Every structure is written in C-alpha cells, then in structure tokens.
Amino acid sequence: MGMLDGQRALVFGVANDHSIAWGIAQALHEAGASVGFSSVESLLERGVRPLAESIGSTFIEPCDVQSDEQIRAVFTKWRAAHGPDEKLDILVHALAFARREDLEGSFVDTSRQGFAVALDVSAYSLVAVVREARAAGLLQPGSSILTLTYYGAEKVVSNYNVMGVAKAALEASVRYLAADLGPEGIRVNAISAGPVRTLAAAGIAGFKKMYGSFADLAPLRQNISIEDVGRTALYLASDLSRAVTGETIYVDGGFHIMGVPSADA
Ligand code: NAP
C-alpha cells in the first residue's frame, strides 16, 4: 500500500524531465497518488504530455498563471474530469519567472515592469491558484499545498536579484495562506531547494559556477537532485506532516546553516 493511495494531486510547473515539479510528481505517483498536470500551453505536447502519460496521467491542461481566467478554467476542468465530489488532496506550485535581464547585474537596475512580472508570476500566482482551488470547492481538511523557494529570499545571492525579492514575498505568502486556511484543515508549506540544473536556473547569470561550488560548501558535500525534493514533498503532502504548516523546509544538504566558508573550502 502506498502512503498516498487514493489521493489526487495537481502539479503546476513541469517543463521537462529536469523540472523540480517532475521530481515531485514522480514521488507522489510512486506513493500511490493520481497526478494531474498544468503547464504553459507551449510546453504541453512536446515536454509535458509524454511525461504525464508515462505515469498514467490523463489530466493535462494548459495554464498561464498570470491569467485568473486560465487558472479558473483548470479547476473547472478538474471538477468536470473527476466529478463533483472529488477533492484535491495535494496542490503543487513549482513555477517562477523573471526576465533574463533582471537576473544579472545589479538589483538596483530592476525596472518597474520587470519587478511586477517577477512578483506576479513567482509569488502572486500562489495566492491566485490557492484562491481559485478553494473557490471551486476543491480543497478540504487534510489538503496540502506546496510551493518552491530558494535561499536568495533571505540572503543576497549574486544575480538572483528580483527573484530573491519575489521568493521573499512567496515565503511570506505561504505563512499568510497557512494562517487563513489552517482553520479549514488545509496546510501550506514551501520547500527551499538547493540549486538544480533546470531551464529556469539556466536563466540566472553565473548559475553554473554557483552550482559547481555548492557541494564544496554544503555540509553534506553534494548537490541535491529532483528526487531529493520529491521525498520532502512526499512528507509535506502526506499525513506524516499533518501538524506542519506555514513552514519553509530546506532541501539543500545543509547549505543554509553555514556562515563564512573556511579558507580551504
Ligand atoms: P523549470 O523546470 O524551468 O520550471 C519552471 C516552470 O515555470 C516552467 O514550466 C515554466 O514555463 C513555468 N512558468 C514560468 N512562467 C509561467 C507562467 N506565467 N504560467 C505558468 N507557468 C510558468 O525550473 P525549476 O527550477 O524546476 O523551477 C520550479 C520552481 O523551483 C521555481 O519556483 C523555481 O524558482 C524553484 N527553485 C528552483 C531551483 C533551481 O536551482 N532550479 C532552486 C530552488 C527553487 P516556461 O518554461 O514556459 O517559462
């Protein structure tokens, strides 16, 4: 028997098999959950559908999270596909965006428009997705919501810039959502992952170098994988974490506990 037998999950943010969202989807599937997918339309046929079908998923719907209408449409289709009494046990939000020019150079040069786009896609979208799922009556006591964040939310990481500000807003949103939804028995948590080589990460100037030195600095002396994130997602999605909400849990080999690196590191 799987830990999530009979549960339904919906995962936003798979681009390809390197995506953190895919690592999470696989872990949920292996634990017995039935997993649906929503990604931007341009990714669906080439990247997402073959992966989704490889784990038996039939729910694969487009959504640009900058559109409330598109978010609403996903949940309307979810309801139509699964019936009026079926709820959503697990909701995964694993997506972010900032313009490439805002992920290099100095933060002080971030444009008004670049700031707005990064915050809208990377932070506000969690609020919008949760609100619409709840309005559609899909969340219930025991439902678990997960999002993905990064250490650049709390410390300055070169070139992460406006995305660090967006992740700080995302982490605060997790706490406010957890406080709002806790009385309904709905939990909201974030995973702060160490660097992973994905399409989104490739847009950050200097990522390769940072990724390369990470294992030397992290206490566990290794980079993390999407499977590592998937395992913590499984904990947060399941009853094992039933008293945990509003948290940011690090899956970073301990990197965030370190202060000044030693001279020989
Ligand atoms: P990824 O595979 O490139 O996934 C990012 C996803 O976000 C893509 O599917 C992307 O679609 C989607 N997206 C962007 N704008 C969107 C929009 N308006 N509507 C709907 N989807 C949109 O990269 P990833 O690294 O796995 O990212 C997943 C999450 O993990 C993000 O929140 C990221 O910040 C976080 N994270 C990543 C790392 C890392 O080192 N990779 C570390 C910590 C946290 P497009 O490809 O079309 O833009």
Atom of ligand 1 nearest to the CA of 18: 2
CB 144, CB 89: distance < 8 Å: yes
Interhelix angle 125-135/68-82, rounded to 10 degrees, is 40
Q: Give residues with Cβ within 8 angstroms of 35, minimum separation 6.
A: 9, 10, 11, 25, 28, 29, 52, 55, 57
User: What distance in angstroms lies between residue 258's CA and the mean position of ligand 1's atoms?
Assistant: 26
Atom of ligand 1 nearest to the CA of 14: 9
Atom of ligand 1 nearest to the CA of 201: 41
Angstrom distances, CA of residue 39 to CA of 54, 93, 106: 16, 10, 31
Angstrom distances, CA of residue 78 to CA of 20, 75, 83: 22, 5, 8
- Provide the β-strand partners of residue 147: 93, 190
* Ligand 1 mutation target, pool 42, 49, 69, 97, most atoms within 8 A of CB: 97
Residue owning the nearest CA to atom 32 of ligand 1: 95
| 87-101 confidence digits (pLDDT tens) | 999 999 999 999 999
Measured in residues, the chain has a length of 265
| 23-57 confidence digits (pLDDT tens) | 999 999 999 999 999 999 998 988 899 999 999 99
Sequence-ordered alpha helix ranges (H) in the chain? 20-30, 41-43, 49-54, 68-82, 112-119, 125-135, 161-181, 199-202, 207-217, 226-237
Active site residue 150: yes
Ligand 1: which residues within 6 Å by Cβ? 13, 15, 19-21, 39-40, 43, 63-66, 94-97, 121, 148-150, 193, 195-196, 198-201
Active site residue 176: no
Low-confidence ranges of the chain (pLDDT < 70): 262-265
- CA 77/CA 48 separation, integer angstroms: 18
| 226-236 confidence digits (pLDDT tens) | 999 999 999 99
For the chain, what is the mean pLDDT?
Answer: 96
- CA 133/CA 220 separation, integer angstroms: 38
Half-sphere exposure of 149 (CA within 13 A, CB side): 32
- Among 160, 176, 211, 250, which one carries the catalytic annotation? 160
77 is written with which tokens?
Answer: 């289709």
Query: For the structural domain made of 8-251, what CATH number should be given?
Result: 3.40.50.720
- pLDDT for res 263: 64
- pLDDT for res 85: 85
